[in-house]
Amino acid sequence: MPDPILFPGSPLDRADHQRRDSAWIDELLQRDDTRFVALWRLRVLVVQGSEPCIAWATKVVCESMNRDVKEVLLGLWDGVAYFAVDISELKNPEEVLGATGVAKFEDVRAVAQRLPYEQAAIIAHARSRVDWHARHVYCPACGGKTTPRGGGANRVCQSCDAEHFPRTDPVAIAVVSLGDRCLLGRQRGWPARLYSALAGFIESGETLEEAVRREIAEESGIPIGEVRYLASQPWPFASSLMIGCRAEALDDKIKLDTFELEDAAFFERDRVRQALEGDTEGANLILPPPMAIANFLLRSWIAEE
Amino acid sequence: MPDPILFPGSPLDRADHQRRDSAWIDELLQRDDTRFVALWRLRVLVVQGSEPCIAWATKVVCESMNRDVKEVLLGLWDGVAYFAVDISELKNPEEVLGATGVAKFEDVRAVAQRLPYEQAAIIAHARSRVDWHARHVYCPACGGKTTPRGGGANRVCQSCDAEHFPRTDPVAIAVVSLGDRCLLGRQRGWPARLYSALAGFIESGETLEEAVRREIAEESGIPIGEVRYLASQPWPFASSLMIGCRAEALDDKIKLDTFELEDAAFFERDRVRQALEGDTEGANLILPPPMAIANFLLRSWIAEE
């Protein structure tokens, strides 16, 4: 069984029942043991050192700041409440939080692999949620102002009362195999020799399997037979649900969509295995890191031989 | 193999490459053979009679109307372009379209099962897309006005240039089994004796399997072991991707969330089979119709015996 992919495995109970009670949320915000993960322009505050971890703030730290922060209740864990706070307006956030020299705001994609597994999951949830709130200040239906409700579970329009819920965008991603070869592609601007599984957003009016067939055909021209679901992964850039599949190619005549991809090609299994095992020079191929579901899909293809 | 569920199976090619060319879209709109499916307040124009079908309009009909209609290119089929037009502003739409006595605007949920299979799929796509455009007139980030692009593939903010894409909301739906029984629930306001599979939106920061476990636990208190993907279905009310699973209950001690559900209970396999076969009186149980993935999930549970 391949290593687990990153971002699942959050230990938090999202407290769906209780969070409807705003007095309860207010009480949690006042508790001494409540923990806050601070996000500054979508970067997360991380304690530096050989074993980095989330730098949890307490209400004391939050109260010391300009009080226009917005909290999102992420959930409960062993009786303790965990919130995300968006402090993007601060000028010198590390200084304001008293974290200079101890903790640093880091890019989530860069730091996630170095965090404890369950903390990466918490960060995925926090980043997606905070990002959604920041970009949904107005009602898309009427243009009115929206405000959060249910501890950040959703937003409500102050003008037309429409409720808006965070989006989660389903993405179909597939390793397409044809005997001992699999189809991979690369986008313009990626690091040299990096290839990955083809992927695309699932659109309205189609199933997962139809989306896989359409995306692969659009991007590579390859017709697809059987499609099989393998695993899913929350991907917090911005807020996708990656739905990982194996798909079977019916031929190998690539017709590239040069708008979407710079290149697509079939790769021999031995070459993929060599790259997965770290010999990217020998394989002349770089694959996505273990944190990505594309890596998982490739590892399970190799393992199934 | 159970009957197919409704709404997949669209024959249209969404023309992802070509639709980036607005001159091409304009040319399609002028062609004599281009077909339009008219939606009026999300109802679809259907030719009446023993074999109802979509009442396709031509550009002649569209040109006769007030020209503030908005077209969405659904795709191509055998060289013919198919658009959806939102004509919700019209007062007497059947009269304006010259359809009185021949075609009628019908509720999509009510009429879908009586349409040819591939037309139900086209309608699912059209309804989700038109609904999304109508409710995304403003930019949620800055409050500016948005306009469609790419033949209705997305919208762009006129103020901040942000691009907005149609949402597809992934929903986890599961038949939860425990030996020869399965867990079903009902919401307040449903027709008497109607029960269905438990379901809920997949949130940011969780996998499909985690969403199934969380939703079932929240709504019924039942702990879940294995979760297995079975099938998916686009559901155009408003624009969900139903992801259907089988889940295994670890015990049968229900703790109902009375906010979400009016009741939840375990039902014997024989009783479910009886209801699926149409004897809803004898079973004292009504199940969702064959068009719904819940029905498919129950049928595959029965078939697996």
CB A129 within 8 A of CB A166: yes
> Is a pLDDT exceeding 70 seen at residue A1?
no
Q: Which of A8-22, A267-281, B193-207, B218-232 has the lowest mean pLDDT?
A: A8-22
> Is a pLDDT exceeding 90 seen at residue B77?
yes
What pLDDT, on a 0 to 100 scale, did the predictor assign at position B99?
Answer: 87
Question: Per-residue pLDDT averaged across A19-31, rounded?
Answer: 92
Residues from chain B contacting residue A239 (CB–CB below 8 Å): 204
> Is a pLDDT exceeding 70 seen at residue A3?
no
DSSP for B53-110, please give it: EE--B-HHHHHTS-S--EEEEEEEETTEEEEEEE-TT-SSHHHHTT-TTTEEEE-HHH
> Is a pLDDT exceeding 90 seen at residue B3?
no
> Cβ A204–B168 below 8 Å, yes or no?
yes
> Is a pLDDT exceeding 70 seen at residue B230?
yes
> Is a pLDDT exceeding 80 seen at residue B157?
yes
Residues from chain B contacting residue A204 (CB–CB below 8 Å): 124-125, 128-129, 132, 166, 168, 234, 236, 239
CA of A9: which chain B residue's CA is closest?
B206
CA of B125: which chain A residue's CA is closest?
A205
Mutation to test the A interface, candidates B136, B168, B240, B246, most A Cβ within 10 Å: B168
Decide if A220 touches B, using CB distance below 8 A.
no
CA distance A157 to chain B (A): 11
Residue B48 CA to its chain's centroid (Å)? 22
Structure tokens at A267: 């790769």
Question: Per-residue pLDDT averaged across A81-106, rounded?
Answer: 90
Rounded Cα distance, B284 and B262, in Å: 17
What pLDDT, on a 0 to 100 scale, did the predictor assign at position B142?
Answer: 97
What pLDDT, on a 0 to 100 scale, did the predictor assign at position B17?
Answer: 87
A residues 160-179 near B, CB within 8 Å? 162, 164-170
Q: Which residue has the higher pLDDT, B61 or B85?
A: B85
CA of B259: which chain A residue's CA is closest?
A17
Contacts of B109 (CB under 8 A, 6+ apart): B237
B residues 22-81 near A, CB within 8 Å? none
> Is a pLDDT exceeding 90 seen at residue B70?
no
What pLDDT, on a 0 to 100 scale, did the predictor assign at position A288?
Answer: 96
- For chains A and B, CB pairs below 8 A equal 161
| Average pLDDT for chain B | 94
Torsions phi, psi of B51, nearest 5? -125, 75
> Cβ B128–A205 below 8 Å, yes or no?
yes
Contacts of B108 (CB under 8 A, 6+ apart): B42, B43, B44, B123, B124, B127, B236, B237
pTM confidence score: 0.96
Decide if A216 touches B, using CB distance below 8 A.
no
Q: What percent of chain B lies above the pLDDT cut of 70?
A: 97
In this complex, which of A122, A138, A208 lies closest to B140 when CB atoms are compared? A138
Decide if A233 touches B, using CB distance below 8 A.
yes
Q: What percent of chain A lies above the pLDDT cut of 90?
A: 86
In this complex, which of A8, A164, A257 lies closest to B17 when CB atoms are compared? A257
Contacts of A240 (CB under 8 A, 6+ apart): A168, A169, A170, A171, A201, A234
> Is a pLDDT exceeding 50 seen at residue A32?
yes
> Cβ A142–B138 below 8 Å, yes or no?
yes
Rounded Cα distance, B84 and B152, in Å: 10
Residues from chain A contacting residue B145 (CB–CB below 8 Å): 143
Mutation to test the B interface, candidates A12, A168, A171, A216, most B Cβ within 10 Å: A168
Mutation to test the A interface, candidates B7, B204, B206, most A Cβ within 10 Å: B204
Q: Are strands A169-178 and A240-249 parallel, antiparallel or unpaired?
A: parallel
ipTM over 0.90: yes
> Cβ A206–B169 below 8 Å, yes or no?
no
In this complex, which of A7, A121, A135 lies closest to B141 when CB atoms are compared? A135
In this complex, which of B121, B164, B168 lies closest to A203 when CB atoms are compared? B168
H or E segment to which residue B49 belongs: none
What pLDDT, on a 0 to 100 scale, did the predictor assign at position B1?
Answer: 46
Residues from chain A contacting residue B153 (CB–CB below 8 Å): none
| Average pLDDT for chain A | 94
What pLDDT, on a 0 to 100 scale, did the predictor assign at position B4?
Answer: 75
Rounded Cα distance, A77 and A28, in Å: 13
